Structure 1
């Protein structure tokens, strides 16, 4: 019988787990068994007893490694933490290949088939497997929730016997999954919300959530480079300068700014400079969701809150992890959907053809070699 294993997440500060008790039930219905390293779900609020009640076997780390046909993971484990894993075992989940390309050589030397689900294309077929979207959605929510705890005023307009309080203003920069959720959350909390993005087509999405789009007009000669897979690309320098001028005037009036702009495989674009921060009101809050990738905000510190010109800047890390129950359930469902899509119900095996478009997109290593074209070139450089 094919066995799916999950290990204790050893990444400091990340409380998520890639296999939850509800996912155990789903795997069992397919005919797969599950092995859970004792304590793997505790940080996310799932006890060993909860897993066992759904039919999972609670085992040691060594048993989970040596008996697994596939390992699901939220964060990329170090090679040393996979000692004993069988060659050919599939390592599926969040592997952060851009963050540490050298790790792929380690996975290749172990003989595992490493599959990074964050490399899935933005297609209809892959949507239910998309770990980036499910986790970004929660991160966008948490960014606004965190900002409200640091802001020195309330968000909604209030009318009291002592007078009225005007609504706070929130500005979201980057209208992907995280940005859209940040807009929706700030709106639900009563803020006056505006947003911007390098993609003009997001204007309608912003308006559909009741927010104001903030865009510089595109002129002849402007080049907005699109990235593969439905992600945002980069602005041309001419557009960047005009947009920066527009944003400079806009952020000076904001109480909360949330930045979410990322470019896969490259440092996050700088959206807010120190000079722009200096124009904001003291007590305002900026949340940088791209801090780990270089940061959208000058002066942001990964995992910390700093103050510049009286403005609080939060370099938010693991926003989804702070909502570990929901984040784990969504992540586990993404992994299940990926595995279920390649489950041969007749042969009772995983049928992951190397030439399948999604398998090609996510597979980093196979047969002791780095096989993903993008990272083969990086390793050879």
Structure 2
């Protein structure tokens, strides 16, 4: 019997690579023959020769889509999904809750779908597979770099012959992986950093990385909003109203706000209303890592765009920041996806075991059945008030 084939697929507009050349070694060691779509690594500065040097073969998109195991970063176009069928497994950040129709069709055609978003993030042995966390860490770092580019002053305290320039005051909303990385990066760059999260354990982490915890009237530090799986529980209507009012008052004291609060399988919580952003001084900057098709943490943010409000505040809708650091993001993602593939394989072939905890989380469809609630037609969970991914978008954002 011929060795099973793993194919590395590119996604239009995506600069990250699902597999870096060094990752080919891991797949071949697991008994797979590796095909890489020509040019699939170009966005991350990997050439086809880099892959063939590790024993992969380059191939057309059609050939890759016919592989037993198809690896991607983000979801392929619907036309590609329609070509998948029985005996094939698609692995990637598939976003099953967003426009589930094309994925549902692939599931009904018999393809196995493994969504990295479903990796159990509180399970220690799954950490190497946690793509949401790895990509969120990249995004949190880049969020501060983008804020510094847009800000009209210095981040650190500077003492010059012309006088003293005060440091920027930077607020991070949401202390998951992205938020904590943003705090750490801003701290290293010399900003005066404050963080906010509704979970008590996250507030402790904010202090542990050198930031102050936001204190403002209406933000009850004694409130325990911790939920399951490391995420925050949904806030009540009164809690959400009090939170937004308090943040609107507090935000005016900051030069930069980085918003990094996301929830699993639901729209991100609205934290900074348009009124709150209007209260910030002209020249202030808001970077919204949650900005996406279902909204963001900052009301004025527009996904993928940088806008300026009438009051002179720059708002950056930055839900896909990890892709702007493609080399580092690809290296981390490649380790995540090879770790998951190794977990799915038995004797070189995918062996689905829905009783196993990790597979139960990531396998969104198998054997012609849709397993993820969104693919099965279940209603979307309600928006949460200030939930923050414990390990991210991912903060995934995402991824």
Tell me which interval the TM-score lies in, with the shorter structure as reference length. Answer: over 0.9
Equivalent position SS for 2:74: coil
Alpha-carbon distance, 1:98 to partner? 1.0
Contact 2:272 2:297 (8 Å CA) reproduced: yes
Q: Does 1:202 align with 2:205?
A: no
SS of 1:187's equivalent in the other structure is: helix
Q: Find out whether 1:277 has 2:277 as its counterpart.
A: yes
- What are the equivalent positions in structure 2 for 1:1-381 lying under 5 Å apart? 1-10=3-12, 12=13, 14-66=14-66, 68-82=67-81, 84-122=83-121, 123-215=123-215, 216-218=219-221, 224=225, 226=227, 228-292=228-292, 293-308=294-309, 309-344=311-346, 347-373=347-373, 375-378=375-378
CA displacement, residues 133-176 of structure 1 (integer Å, 9 cap, x when unaligned): 00010011111100100100010001112211111110000000
**Worse-superposed segment, 131-140 or 114-123:** 114-123
> Does the Cα contact within 8 Å between 2:110 and 2:366 map onto a contact in 1?
yes
Structure-1 separation of matches of 2:267 and 2:307 = 21
Cα distance in 2 for residues equivalent to 1:42 and 1:374: 33
Give 3-state SS (helix, strand or coil) of 2:71's partner. strand
Post-superposition shift, 1:28?
A: 2.0
Shift of 1:255: 0.9
Instruction: Give secondary structure in 2 for the equivalent of 1:71.
Output: strand
Q: Deviations over 1:265-312 (max 9, x none)?
A: 221111011211121110000001111041111111111011111100
Task: State the distance in 2 between where 1:138 and 1:320 align.
Answer: 5
TM-score (norm 1): 0.92
Q: Which has the higher contact order (CA 8 A, sep 6+)?
A: 2
Cα shift at 1:32: 1.9
Query: For residues 342 and 267 of structure 1, do their structure 2 counterparts lie closer, same or farther at Cα, with a shift above 3 Å needed?
Result: closer
**Structure 1 residue matching 2:253: 3-state secondary structure:** coil
How far does residue 191 in structure 1 lie from its aligned partner after superposition?
Answer: 0.1
Listed one character per residue, the Cα deviations across residues 83-121 of structure 1 (whole Å, up to 9, x for unaligned) are 554522110111011111212222123321011110112
Q: Once the 2 structures are TM-superposed, how far is the Cα of residue 59 of structure 1 from its aligned partner?
A: 1.0
CA distance in 2, matches of 1:170, 1:256: 5
Residues matched between the structures, number: 372
Give how far 1:374 is off.
5.5
**2:383 matched to which residue of 1?**
none
Contact persistence 2:6–2:34 (CA under 8 A): yes
Q: Is the 8 A contact 1:225 1:235 kept in 2?
A: no
How many Å separate the matches in 2 of 1:374 and 1:105? 9
Offset, 1:329: 1.1
Q: Cα distance 1:375–1:109, how it changes in 2: closer, same or farther (>3 A)?
A: closer
Cα separation, 2, equivalents of 1:160 and 1:225: 46
| Kept in 2: contact 1:6–1:35 (CA 8 A) | yes
8 Å contact 1:5–1:64 — kept in the other structure?
Answer: yes
Structure 1: which 5+ runs fail to align? none
TM-score (norm 2): 0.88
Q: Distance in 2 between matches of 1:112 and 1:317?
A: 29
Cα RMSD over matched residues? 1.9
1: CA distance, partners of 2:300 / 2:373 = 35
Contact 2:5 2:69 in 1 (8 A): yes
Give a deviation string over 1:59-79, Cα, whole Å, max 9, x none: 11122222x121111111134
Q: Could you say what secondary structure the match of 2:124 adopts?
A: coil
Could you tell me how far apart the structure 2 residues matched to 1:101 and 1:83 are? 13
